[in-house]
Amino acid sequence: MEISHEIKKRRTELNITQEELAERLDVTRAAVSNWEVGRNYPDIQLC
């Protein structure tokens, strides 16, 4: 499974919005959206 699908799957399992996930990770909502559609990927060093 691609990381983009896993990010979206886990976010929806947690019942949180992209905005809420972005706040928790200290990134923009646009970054989360880009991750979920596979446009780019999270920087591993952020985690």
Q: Is residue 8 part of a domain?
A: yes
Q: What is the dihedral of CA 42, 29, 5, 17, to 10 degrees?
A: 140
Specify the pLDDT at position 5: 95
Number of domains in the chain: 1
Whole-prediction pTM: 0.85
Domain holding 11, by residue range, is: 3-40
Mean pLDDT across the stretch 15-23? 98
- C-alpha 14/C-alpha 1 separation (Å) is 19
Q: Is residue 36 part of a domain?
A: yes
Q: Is residue 45 part of a domain?
A: no
Confidence band of 47 (pLDDT split at 50, 70, 90): low
